[in-house]
A = this chain, B = another copy of it.
Amino acid sequence: MNIQNILLGHGSGGKMSHELISELFLHYFDNQILQNQTDSAILTVNNNKLAFTTDSFVVDPLFFPGGNIGKLAVAGTVNDLAVSGAIPMYLSAGFIIEEGFPFQQLKEIVKTMGEEAASAGVKIVTGDTKVVNKGKCDKLFINTSGVGVLPDKFAGISLGENISAGDKILINGEIGAHGMTIMAARNDLKINAPIASDCACLNMLIKEILDAGIQVKFMRDATRGGVATVLAEMVKGKKFGLQIYEKNLVVEDGVRGMCELLGFDSLYVANEGKVIMVVPQNQAEKALKILQNHPLGKKGTIIGEITTENPGKAWLNTVIGGKRIIDMLSGMQLPRIC
């Protein structure tokens, strides 16, 4: 790998991140669990399966319509566990705080974390606080790691090994709200858009789907890199492809306006409360109903399906009748959105 310096794109969740992960971390931390590159690591401890995951949050600004860094830190890790089929149980919280940070803001963030954890049914059981000199970090960074119990019957979800042609692809609602909200909230842009982050813990929604007996074959939350990156990753190197329909993607007017104004493609914009699910064709309508009956899935849609054609490729059927390939985000679309 011929990298001289780390660039913003290496943290984007797109192609450059993948390159860094593959050639650096997978090389030196070589083990099968990590090689699987699932949202959560799947551990076997005393014959029980556990899911284990970590995320650092550096979002700027710390407070935004729909949430704050604390809500994001809880929801992000809860969702990484939940999309693995696990029941999220325990979180850690590591704070890196800039000297001089207002205590009231920290209190509000910590309070939000407590509330969000309680409503998701998880406990924050261990933590760490580091304070660095003024100017040595930007206000506040939070790391959360999480542990969940993974029922044996759901152990295959995160690898997606059972995906087959004809399976339907669902999402629980509108896309792009988180990323565009963060953009709008940045002081230097002075945009006052009527949009809010979709940041939310999805574990209860996912539990309803699984409890209903839907044979979920794959799930992933569409965060950094957006829906496009999840779709591109899902088919990469596989014997199947997929196609989705632009008309089935819900984009709120405010988000669409922001995207047009700033030249973003909503398919690549981060969400923090959206899960993409692959389910058998004959269960798709049932799954959709469950989504739509849940407050976090009201605008859920079936966005497309797995295909035998174009193996390894994800295609978008546009509203004007065109077709284009969905590739992974290359480099950085938007820094520090989570």
Q: Are A54 and B126 neighbours in the complex by a CB distance under 8 Å?
A: yes
Closest chain-B Cβ to A240's Cβ sits at a distance in Å of 26
Q: Are A45 and B48 neighbours in the complex by a CB distance under 8 Å?
A: yes
How distant is the Cα of A101 from the Cα of B128 in the complex, in angstroms?
25
How distant is the Cα of A103 from the Cα of B11 in the complex, in angstroms?
13
Please provide the chain A residues from 166 to 188 with a CB less than 8 Å away from any CB of chain B in the complex: none
Give the interface size bracket for A toward B.
35 or more
A25-B110, A29-B93 given. 15 additional CB < 8 A pairs?
A: A6-B101, A31-B124, A33-B90, A45-B89, A53-B126, A54-B143, A56-B96, A57-B130, A58-B96, A96-B141, A130-B141, A131-B335, A132-B138, A132-B335, A145-B145
Q: Which of B17, B124, B145, B149 contacts A129 (CB 8 A)?
A: B17
- The 16 listed contacts between A and B (C-beta, < 8 Å) are A5-B101, A7-B99, A11-B130, A28-B107, A28-B113, A33-B123, A34-B124, A43-B147, A45-B147, A52-B92, A56-B94, A56-B96, A58-B136, A60-B136, A131-B335, A132-B138
- Mask of A87-112 contacts with B, CB within 8 angstroms, 1/0: 00110111111111111001100110
Q: Are B90 and A41 neighbours in the complex by a CB distance under 8 Å?
A: yes
Q: Are A147 and B54 neighbours in the complex by a CB distance under 8 Å?
A: no
- Whether, in the assembled complex, A125 has its beta carbon less than 8 Å from a beta carbon of chain B, the answer is yes
Closest chain-B Cβ to A35's Cβ sits at a distance in Å of 10
Closest chain-B Cβ to A56's Cβ sits at a distance in Å of 4
Knowing A123-B34, A125-B43 touch, does A147 contact B28 (C-beta < 8 A)?
no
- Whether, in the assembled complex, A30 has its beta carbon less than 8 Å from a beta carbon of chain B, the answer is yes
How distant is the Cα of A160 from the Cα of B141 in the complex, in angstroms?
33
Q: Which of B28, B137, B141 contacts A110 (CB 8 A)?
A: B28
